[in-house]
Chain A
Amino acid sequence: MSFQVMMMQLGQGMLKSMGIFFLTLLFSLPLGLLVALCRMSKSGILRTIMRVYISIMRGTPLMLQLLAVYFGPYYLFGAKLGKNWRFSAIIIAFAVNYAAYFAEIYRSGIGSMPAGQYEAARLLGYSKSGTFLRIIFPQVIKRILPAITNEVITLIKDTSLSFSLAYAEMFTIAKQIAAKETSFMPFLAAALFYYVFNAIVAFAMERIEKAMNYYSA
């Protein structure tokens, strides 16, 4: 296999890895906020459910969760898995897993807001939801960005776990080329792809952080 073909194959795999990456963020960021709010809600039942959910997501390997989501419908309900289920299962597993981590990050951010802000907002006549949406949440975002960046970068590398479902993302492709070529070179190329993509994401996140740093500019 020529170098160009290998890079092209890996490039196509990279597109699929990016697909997992962006879709996971799209679903897990809002879902994580929802989980965080439920985790902090007044209802004890809701809090307990969320605590258990987060505990399971963080306490079991993501690779195992991928297998569970993918094969679960068949083993639990005898449903026949459709052709597109492989990809959907990957997105669901990733989104649900990352939502748990994001939820804890949101919770730490929301919890760090001084009570005085809520009191001041109430005196100024803000409703509860208005206080949260207009005063608390924007500050939370600003505070948790570094922690979010950490998770986002981990996610890029975690997409390679999809190889356990033989989804043709970059790591799976790299393994296949390596087997055919009886060489480790494709892994080196794969590492380069991951690194470059990570560098771009890290740069973008840094820019966003700077843009939000409006008080100390």
Chain B
Amino acid sequence: MMKKRVLAGVLSAAMAVSMSFTMAYAGETEAVSGTEAAANADGLATEGKFVVGFDAEYPPYGYMDDNGDYTGFDLELAQAVCDLEGWELVKTPIDWDSKDMELNSGNIDCIWNGFTMNGREDSYTFSVPYVNNSQVIVTADDSGINSLADLAGKTVGVQADSAALALLSKDGDQADLAETFGDLQQFADYNTAFTELMAGSLDAVAIDIGVAQYQINGRDGYKILDEYLNAEQYAVGFKKGNTALCDTVNKDLKTLLDNGTFDKIAKKYAGQGVDPTMLCLRESFGEASTEASTEAETEA
């Protein structure tokens, strides 16, 4: 009888351990939802903390630098906003496929990572656009592909859940072009896609121009087709309806533009794929467009 009790004790202890483990964290999630009810006026999930979700495999906008810290054009801008507001910047790498879940569940306050706003307006509240982006095609110099028409019958790679994929999908603006492809392959990250391009199992990659320039800088023998797939814009994506936070960031972007911080950060990344002609924050605030950006618009 005694021994039976011992066994029961052992088993219930094991159960209690696993249960309390689960419950402790269930308690934690509830506690946090309580603070949400008390909703911060500035729209942040946690007061004083600006949690930015980004794909850490997306240089030059968000990546790991030489020292192993997360950085990039977008993350430096986010840091500048935090400096203005006195917030603490929390850089949270996310899996790009799960970005909606991360945002909607409140794990992150915004997606700030070369995030195309066009075509996503219904799903997010967007800041003013700050970069004129284009989706482009990258191929090997010696691929014999020189125009979009040459892609007929070829295998093209694209990042899953990306703006380029949206363009090439059934209802996208370039759906007809995609029809001519031999195959459209989806990848989780561009590094893999580029390696396949080098290995020859892909003929071309559809990709954001800034990222394309970064990737080409790091490899020899690749080119961007002169014909672009589209012209679009990057903006910061907030959870739909979070206008309080969006307004604050917009106001801060204006300040950063006026005090020169925006241009200073942009200059730093000019050689890494963020071409000065791509910047469009000035136009977003209705200021006289510079010569460079007019050029970019005509090109697009």
Contacts and interface: CB of A to CB of B under 8 A. Distances in A.
Nearest to B66: A1
A117 interface: no
B26 interface: yes
A180 B28 contact: no
B17 A175 contact: no
B218 interface: yes
B155 to A, nearest CB: 20
A208 interface: no
Interface in A77-95: 78-86, 88, 92, 95
Contacts of A37: 11
Given A30-B14, A31-B18, A181-B218, A88 B25 contact: yes
A168 interface: yes
| Interface-centre pick from B35, B191, B219 (highest chain A CB count, 10 A) | B191
Contacts of B195: 184
A176 B189 CA distance: 10
B95 to A, nearest CB: 5
Contacts of A118: none
Contacts of B215: 182
A43 interface: no
B107 interface: yes
A177 B64 contact: yes
A133 B189 contact: no
A164 B218 contact: no
Nearest to B56: A176
B22 A92 contact: yes
Secondary structure type dominating chain A contacts: helix
A79 B30 contact: yes
Contacts of B63: 176, 179-180
Contact of B29 (A81, A178, A181): A81
A175 B191 CA distance: 9
Secondary structure type dominating chain B contacts: helix
B194 interface: yes
A54 to B, nearest CB: 16
Interface string B213-241: 01100110000000000000000000000
Interface string A32-47: 0110010000000000
B17 A27 contact: yes
A78 B105 CA distance: 8
A73 B64 contact: no
A175 B59 CA distance: 12
Contact of B3 (A83, A129, A164, A178): A129
B93 A129 contact: no
Nearest to A2: B66
Interface in B1-40: 1-4, 6-8, 11, 14-15, 17-18, 21-22, 25-26, 28-33, 35-36
A9 interface: yes
A9 B6 CA distance: 46
Nearest to B190: A179
28 contacts: A2-B66, A27-B18, A30-B17, A33-B14, A37-B11, A79-B29, A79-B33, A80-B36, A81-B105, A81-B107, A85-B28, A88-B28, A128-B3, A129-B6, A129-B7, A132-B7, A133-B3, A163-B95, A165-B98, A166-B56, A175-B57, A177-B64, A178-B57, A179-B58, A179-B190, A179-B191, A182-B214, A183-B218
What 6 A-B pairs have minimum CB-CB distances, sorted nearest first? A179-B57, A182-B218, A129-B7, A74-B105, A30-B14, A79-B29
Interface of A: 1-2, 5, 8-9, 12, 27, 30-31, 33-34, 37, 67, 71, 73-75, 78-86, 88, 92, 95, 127-130, 132-133, 163-166, 168, 172-173, 175-184
